[in-house]
Amino acid sequence: MTASSPAAPSAPHLTTVFSAMIEVGAPIELGVIDGGRERFIPILGGTISGPRLTGIVLCAGGDWQTVRTDGRTELLARYFLKAADGTVIAIENPGMRVAVPEVIDRMALGEEVAAAQYYSGGSPRFRVTDGPHDWLRKRVFMARGVRRPDSLTIEFYTID
């Protein structure tokens, strides 16, 4: 490195923002469309807690899924949070879950599957009015999900 070369940037750091415990309803199966099994999972409610945000998950929205034959499940969750101060926050969380076919089949049957048996991540974006939570519009986030038969726990992180 010469005196005029810029220093390499440091690796990003993840900071925990909040955790969401989301209750989900029974899947609605659409069938195979364009080579993928399409399903919709309704979001029934839940809670959010953490160092930067607390409140509830509203009973509005859901998770659109396309299960591919190569072990990928493409996810697009759209729903609403309500912060403890009453602010409504829209969230859109595109993501992916990857597992071997046997694990995908067990999940589809509603069985409990250990988080170590699949990969699940997302890149959420938030929409919120100006005010105490507008910082959600001004950061890049990542999320990691753990799926249970009737619920989902998602950890949200900001990339610093």
Q: What is the pLDDT of residues 106-144, one digit of tens each?
A: 988 888 999 999 999 999 999 999 999 999 999 999 999
Q: Domains along the chain? A: 14-159 (2.40.160.20)
Burial label for 147, CB within 10 Å (0-12, 13-18, 19+), is buried
Weakly modelled stretches of the chain, pLDDT under 50? none
Where would I find the beta strands (DSSP E) of the chain? 14-24, 28-33, 36-49, 55-67, 72-83, 88-98, 119-122, 125-127, 141-148, 151-159
**CA 139 centroid distance within chain:** 16
| 41 and 27 Cβ atoms separated by less than 8 Å | yes
